């Protein structure tokens, strides 16, 4: 355990973000940001930070939506289109507290939805999700959400088959990949841009170097997916450009070859797995009369049967690692590729060997695949939620549009709660959620929406009460992740903008008005909480025989490096050696190729073993006759989700403020689209504008646009639903669950049509505040 100092200048303060540690100095209007010099591959996303502090999109003071202030609480379709009235903090807090109290008394705490989804800060104390959940628990509870938009299908299915996702993230570690892996077969790719970020910060960016070290040692890479740049060009990867949403069919073709040619490891399957025999009957066609051979897979995937067989044989002959990105399970039946890739790795028999086996989500963030610290990172206790109702996070609009209606989830039959009030802090559902026209309708249904937010996002613009919150540079905190072994002091760099307050201060004021101040704050200031969190970490380290420096020494340093352990990779090694003495935390204690539990749920869309289930929206479906292009909406390279979309680095990847759509030249020619044309991307759910960029690194039949553009709906003639001028892909994505098992996000893929936009191109509006008026008390803090 070491305290580290990196020779910061006297004027610099150390701080941290989701994309790494940095040093910052200067005035709010002209901040200077320097990456941590100890980071071997610092993220370019740090270039967005200087634009955050004083941008015109900052919220300056509390405001109330005019319709809510004049007409009182209630459903209102003017949300997102109404003006706001600036008020004092006292008035805004009094109104919010009174409304929370009214909902509690008239409808119960289950009528409050505690929304917080996003990466608002790498800090562990000023973590918006922890803060809002602690506050709502202190006043009686709330309806919660479970799982995530990023990995909702795997969050649910992996614990039943192998390990929870957070545990699974260390099933394979990068040092072992660099030292041992001979063949990496990457389903959905290993995009280094995704590894630039980490939920609690990234102490060191190591993915690029590990991949390069494996290549230098002779490892070979195979990218399986529709986008060539999902694996670094420098790795000389073979690109198998299969049709989107057909990965399971391709994997089945590989598995069929292994089975019929006797290349699978029967000893491993018998010793460490359950249910292979039932799966093999399906694979060979004994249960349904349809062998899942490479010839069967060829017309589905577009990949020659001979190439499938060649790859299967190579995978069996080499020390092979199968990786799978989050993207594959963010689609219809997203549970199936997660499960099938695990089965394929089990058939190869190398799970538990260093640098081989199954690496779900490896490379998805900067900390996946690292050896974790020996103790978890400190976090703010959230207390106990006295309300039992919850939804899978991606079913947000369904909850608001279908109160009291039944739904199934993970073996349970539940009912959507009747939500009267949404309180959101941290995150932007008008980025994460699908089918935004439907979400806008859903957001018109509650009686009241309250938002803590630094910027005028679409979420803030759909709220009734808006509290301006601080950004991370405006407060002290501690950064750290339970997947990374660096703890960083985050020093306050600048004073809060205008009247902005910390979430902790906002919730403390509300808790006091609602009689819960002692429960929420425990009488502690922010500074005292930071010390408590750090001291909790010191106690955990001490229990394991490690002495951490006192808080003052840590706070005066640049980083604290913590000792690590082998993570799930070590567990798998011991499991492989003796599965009876060191079982997995699954119902059988083994890898579940067939799950009796899932089979018992009776779901037609997710049975007892993985299988090919044809999606409704793929290039082989009937719907493709009307909308013949598959839109891939992947993570952006120049921002995290929609964070700081207005900032300079994010803007560099746009043209005139619009997102770029990559399209194959053959598809562009069919539509008379030239490079640089403004195009309309549309289906029957909505439309958005983008700028065409012709590229042969995109599969024919596919167009690619990154997520994260701030929703900018424009009403124009001929477009009954309007269109997004900036290019928010979720204007057209489909809002349905992956299956009845996980009910997860399917926003990665959908079918669209593209045409050259021939009308007057609407300008991209600047990132700024909605129309506001002032009240008599608006200047009073």
DSSP summary character for residue 252:
H
The reported pLDDT for the residue numbered 773 is: 83
Mean pLDDT of the chain: 96
pLDDT of residue 1: 84
Instruction: Write phi, then psi, for 614 (nearest 5 degrees).
Output: -65, 125
Among the listed residues 19, 68, 84, 119, the single catalytic one is: 119
Of the candidates 537, 511, 513, 514, the one whose C-alpha atom is nearest the C-alpha of residue 524 is 511
pLDDT, one tens digit per residue, over 767-779 is: 877 888 876 555 4
- Asked if 396 and 737 touch (Cβ cutoff 8 Å), the reply is no
**3-class secondary structure for 513-537?**
HCCCHHHHHCCCCHHHHHHHHHHHH
Pair 141, 465: CB distance under 8 Å? no
- Three-state SS at 485: coil
> Rounded to 5 degrees, what angle do the CA atoms 74, 80, 86 make?
80
Percent of the chain at pLDDT exceeding 70 = 99
What is the Cα–Cα distance from 40 to 564, expressed in whole angstroms?
A: 19
Which of 472, 475, 482, 484 has the alpha carbon at shortest distance from 559?
484
In angstroms, how far apart are the furthest CA atoms of the chain? Answer: 81
pLDDT in tens, 660-717: 999 999 999 999 999 999 999 999 999 999 999 999 999 999 999 999 999 999 988 8
- From the list 68, 84, 117, 358, the catalytic residue is 117
Kindly give, in sequence order, each residue whose CB lies less than 8 Å from that of residue 629, ignoring residues fewer than 6 positions away.
663, 667, 701, 702, 703, 751, 752, 753, 754
- Can you give the pLDDT at residue 759? 87
pLDDT, residue 774, reads 76
For residues 652 and 646, is the Cβ–Cβ distance under 8 A? Answer: no
What tokens does 478 get? 């501690």
Q: What is the mean pLDDT of residues 492-516?
A: 98
Nearest Cα residue to 213 out of 171, 169, 173, 175:
175
Q: Which residues of 86-97 are buried (b: 16+ CB within 10 A; e: fewer)?
A: bbbbebbbebbb
The pLDDT confidence band at residue 447, using thresholds 50, 70 and 90, is very high
Residues 6 or more apart whose Cβ sits within 8 Å of residue 142: 109, 110, 112, 113, 114, 133, 136, 385, 387, 423
Q: Which helix (H) or strand (E) holds 570?
A: helix 567-577
Contact between residue 106 and residue 448 where contact means Cβ atoms under 8 Å apart: no
Question: What's the pLDDT at 776?
Answer: 54
CA distances from 326 to 179, 465, 473 (A): 25, 35, 30
pLDDT digits (tens, 9 = 90+) for 182-195: 999 999 999 999 99
State the average pLDDT over residues 586-614.
98
Check if the beta carbon of residue 181 is closer than 8 Å to that of residue 356. yes
- Residue among 683, 693, 677, 703 nearest 757 (CA): 677
Cβ atoms < 10 Å from Cβ of 589: 15
Closest CA to 757 of 648, 664, 647, 682: 682
CB atoms within 10 A of CB 776: 9
Is-contact 377 487, C-beta < 8 A? yes
Helix axes 305-317, 247-260, angle to 10 degrees: 60
Separation between Cα atoms, residue 26 and residue 515, nearest integer Å: 41
Could you give the 3-state DSSP secondary structure of residue 542?
helix
Is 650 in a helix, a strand, or coil? Answer: helix
Task: Compute CA distances 313 → 201, 300, 305, 672, 680, whole Å.
Answer: 40, 21, 13, 43, 44
Q: Where are the alpha helices (DSSP H) in 197-303?
A: 207-217, 247-260, 266-272, 276-283, 294-301
Cβ-contact 504, 131 below 8 angstroms: yes
119 given a catalytic annotation: yes
> Does residue 9 surpass a pLDDT of 90?
no
Structure confidence at residue 6 as a pLDDT band (50, 70, 90): confident
What is the per-residue pLDDT for 716? Answer: 87
For the segment 513-538, the average pLDDT, to the nearest whole number, is 97
What are 220's strand-pairing partners? 183
Give the Cα separation of 706 and 66 in Å (integer).
34
Q: Residues for the chain: how many in total?
A: 781
Instruction: Classify strands 13-17 and 20-27 as parallel, antiparallel or unpaired.
Output: antiparallel
DSSP 118: S
pLDDT of 430 over the 70 cut = yes
Buried b (16+ CB within 10 A) or exposed e, 675-711: eebbbbbbbebbbbbbbbbbbeebbbbbbbbbbbbbb
The helix-helix angle for 294-301 and 247-260 (nearest 10°) equals 160
C-alpha distances in Å from residue 686, one per residue of 468, 634, 668, 680, 722: 31, 18, 21, 10, 7
Between 556 and 775, whose confidence is greater? Answer: 556
781: pLDDT strictly greater than 90: no
pLDDT in tens, 372-392: 999 998 899 999 999 999 999
Give the residue ranges of DSSP H helices in 389-450: 396-401, 429-432, 436-443
Reduced to 3 states (helix: H, G, I; strand: E, B; else coil), residue 172 is coil
For the chain, the 3-state helix, strand and coil shares in percent, each to the nearest 5, are 35, 20, 45
Residues 6+ apart with CB under 8 A from 409: 392, 740, 741, 742, 743
Q: How confident is the model at residue 378, as a pLDDT?
A: 85
Sheet containing 486-490: give its strands across.
Answer: 2-4, 559-561, 486-490, 477-479
CB 384 within 8 A of CB 137: yes
Q: Rounded to an integer, what distance in angstroms lies between the CA atom of residue 39 and that of residue 59?
A: 33
What pLDDT score does 161 carry? 98
Number of CB atoms found within 10 A of residue 142's CB: 28
pTM of the model: 0.97
The predicted-structure confidence for 45-61, as pLDDT tens digits, reads as follows 999 999 999 999 999 99
DSSP strands (E only) in 576-659: 591-592, 629-632
pLDDT tens for each residue of 302-315: 999 999 999 999 99
What are the angstrom distances between the C-alpha of 2 and each of 5, 104, 560? 10, 49, 6
């Amino acid at each position: 355990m070491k305290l580290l100092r990196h020779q910061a200048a006297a004027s610099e303060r150390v701080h941290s973000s989701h994309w790494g540690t940095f040093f910052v100095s200067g005035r709010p209007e002209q901040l200077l940001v320097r990456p941590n010099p100890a980071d071997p591959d610092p993220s370019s996303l740090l270039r967005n930070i200087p634009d955050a502090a004083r941008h015109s999109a900052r919220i300056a003071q509390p405001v109330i939506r005019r319709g809510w202030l004049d007409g009182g609480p209630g459903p209102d379709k003017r949300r997102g289109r109404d003006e706001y009235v600036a008020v004092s903090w006292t008035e805004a807090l009094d109104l919010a507290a009174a409304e929370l109290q009214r909902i509690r008394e008239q409808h119960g705490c289950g009528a409050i939805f505690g929304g917080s989804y996003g990466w608002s800060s790498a800090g562990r104390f000023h973590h918006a999700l922890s803060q809002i959940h602690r506050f709502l628990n202190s006043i009686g509870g709330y309806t919660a959400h479970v799982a995530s938009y990023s990995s909702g299908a795997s969050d649910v299915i992996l614990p039943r088959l192998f390990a929870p996702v957070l545990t699974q993230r260390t099933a394979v570690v990068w040092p072992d990949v660099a030292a041992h892996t001979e063949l990496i077969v990457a389903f959905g790719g290993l995009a280094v841009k995704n590894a630039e970020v980490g939920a609690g910060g990234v102490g060191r960016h190591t993915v690029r170097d590990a991949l390069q070290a494996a290549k230098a040692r002779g490892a070979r890479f195979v990218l399986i997916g529709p986008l060539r740049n999902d694996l670094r060009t420098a790795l000389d990867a073979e690109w198998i450009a299969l049709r989107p949403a057909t990965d399971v069919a391709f994997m089945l073709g590989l598995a069929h070859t292994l089975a019929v040619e006797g290349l699978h490891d029967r000893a491993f399957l018998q010793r460490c797995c359950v249910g292979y025999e039932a799966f093999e009957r399906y694979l060979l066609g004994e249960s349904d009369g349809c062998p899942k051979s490479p010839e069967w897979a060829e017309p589905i995937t577009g990949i020659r049967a001979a190439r499938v067989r060649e790859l299967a044989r190579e995978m069996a002959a080499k020390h092979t690692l199968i990786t799978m990105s989050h993207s594959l399970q963010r689609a219809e039946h997203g549970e199936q590729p997660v499960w099938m890739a695990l089965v394929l790795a089990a058939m190869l028999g190398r799970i538990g060997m260093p640098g081989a086996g199954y690496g779900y989500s490896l490379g998805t963030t900067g900390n996946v695949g690292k050896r974790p610290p020996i103790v978890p990172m400190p976090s703010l206790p959230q207390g106990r939620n006295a309300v039992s109702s919850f939804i899978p996070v991606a079913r947000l609009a369904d909850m608001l549009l279908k109160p009291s209606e039944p739904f199934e989830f993970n073996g349970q039959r539940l009912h959507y709660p009747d939500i009267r009030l949404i309180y959101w802090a941290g995150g932007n559902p008008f980025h994460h959620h699908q089918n935004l026209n439907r979400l806008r309708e859903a957001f018109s249904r509650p009686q009241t929406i309250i938002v803590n937010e630094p910027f005028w996002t679409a979420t803030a613009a759909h709220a009734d009460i808006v509290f301006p919150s601080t950004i991370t540079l405006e407060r002290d905190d501690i950064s750290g992740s339970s997947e990374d072994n660096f703890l960083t002091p985050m020093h306050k760099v600048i004073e809060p903008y205008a009247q902005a307050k910390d979430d902790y201060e906002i919730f403390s004021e509300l808790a006091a008005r609602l009689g819960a101040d002692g429960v929420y704050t425990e009488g502690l200031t922010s500074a005292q909480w930071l010390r408590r969190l750090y001291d909790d970490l010191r106690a955990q380290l001490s229990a394991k025989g490690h002495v951490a420096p006192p808080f003052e020494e840590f706070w005066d340093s640049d980083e604290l490096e913590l000792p690590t352990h082998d993570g799930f990779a070590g567990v798998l090694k011991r499991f492989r050696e003796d599965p009876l003495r060191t079982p997995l935390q699954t119902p059988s204690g083994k890898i579940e190729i067939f799950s009796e539990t899932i089979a018992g749920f009776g779901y037609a869309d997710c049975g007892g073993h993985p299988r090919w289930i044809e999606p409704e929206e793929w290039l082989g479906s009937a719907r493709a006759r009307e909308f013949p292009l598959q839109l891939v909406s992947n993570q952006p390279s120049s921002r995290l989700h929609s964070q700081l979309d207005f900032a300079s680095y994010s803007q560099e990847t746009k043209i005139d403020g619009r997102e770029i759509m990559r399209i194959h030249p053959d598809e562009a020619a069919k539509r008379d689209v030239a490079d640089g044309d403004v195009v309309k991307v549309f289906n029957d759910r909505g439309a958005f504008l983008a700028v065409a960029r012709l590229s042969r690194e995109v599969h024919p039949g596919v167009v690619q646009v990154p997520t994260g553009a701030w929703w900018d709906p424009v009403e124009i003639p001929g477009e009954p639903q309007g269109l997004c001028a900036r290019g928010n892909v979720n204007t057209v994505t489909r809002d349905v669950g992956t299956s009845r098992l996980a009910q997860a996000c399917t926003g990665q893929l959908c079918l669209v049509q593209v045409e050259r936009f021939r009308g007057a191109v609407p300008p991209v509006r600047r990132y700024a505040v909605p129309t506001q008026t002032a009240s008599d008390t608006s200047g009073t803090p």
